[in-house]
Amino acid sequence: MNSGLPSIEIRRLADVPQVAPFLKAWLLEEWESWYGPDGPGDIDAAYPTRADGNRLPVPLVAMDDADAVVGTICIREQTSPHAQFSPWAGGLLVARDRRRQGIGTALVKAAEDEARRLGVRKLYLETHAAASIVVRRGWSAVAPGEPADGPAMVYALDL
């Protein structure tokens, strides 16, 4: 997938399974409270090594011209507490030293394109940090995020 950025390519994890161990270690480090041993997340289920690009979850990775993973996003079925907002683009993350270069925006756009390809009519995500990115891309706030009195909102985009 063309990211629109020089030297960044966005790939389905299904097409580059060799980066899955790095991706999982990175996500575990960044979101230990979710994916760690005491957290509710199951990283192997969320990022299956043998992911099928035509069935959710569809993890995407942004790779640079040295084939290093510099960002990720994942389209998945949503479960509790937001089961009514599904499918969902989650796990948006860009390497710290590569932020503010447009990679996050490119990943959101790639998730939109992938969801469209999969026949999704409406895509959701929850964010505070990426709010300006999604609002610029035409997403609308549809509900408070978690916790309900926090700054995060659930956004939706008609595809």
Ligand X SMILES: CC(C)(COP(=O)(O)OP(=O)(O)OC[C@H]1O[C@@H](n2cnc3c(N)ncnc32)[C@H](O)[C@@H]1OP(=O)(O)O)[C@@H](O)C(=O)NCCC(=O)NCCS
Could you tell me where the DSSP H helices lie in the chain? 20-30, 32-35, 43-46, 103-117, 131-136
Query: Which CB atom, from 13 or from 133, has the smaller least distance to ligand X?
Result: 133
Query: Which CB atom, from 16 or from 137, has the smaller least distance to ligand X?
Result: 137
68 lies in the site for ligand X, by CB under 6 A: no
For ligand X, which stretch binds (CB under 6 A), given 15-23, 79-87, 90-98, 139-147? Answer: 90-98
102 lies in the site for ligand X, by CB under 6 A: yes
* Six-digit token string for 35: 């994916």
Angle at 84 between CA 29 and CA 43, to 5 degrees: 20
**Looking at this protein, which amino acid is placed at residue 128?**
H
Q: How far is the CB of 37 from ligand X (least distance, A)?
A: 21
Q: How many residues bind ligand X (CB under 6 A)?
A: 15
Round to whole Å and give the CA distance between 62 and 10.
4
Round to whole Å and give the CA distance between 47 and 128.
23
Query: Which CB atom, from 112 or from 119, has the smaller least distance to ligand X?
Result: 112
93 lies in the site for ligand X, by CB under 6 A: yes
* Six-digit token string for 79: 């479960």
3 lies in the site for ligand X, by CB under 6 A: no
Q: How far is the CB of 8 from ligand X (least distance, A)?
A: 10
Contact (CB, 8 A) for 45 and 91:
no
Query: Which CB atom, from 59 or from 104, has the smaller least distance to ligand X?
Result: 104
Round to whole Å and give the CA distance between 159 and 144.
21
For ligand X, which stretch binds (CB under 6 A), given 8-16, 36-44, 52-60, 103-111? Answer: 103-111
Residues that bind ligand X (CB under 6 A): 92-94, 99-105, 127, 129-130, 132-133
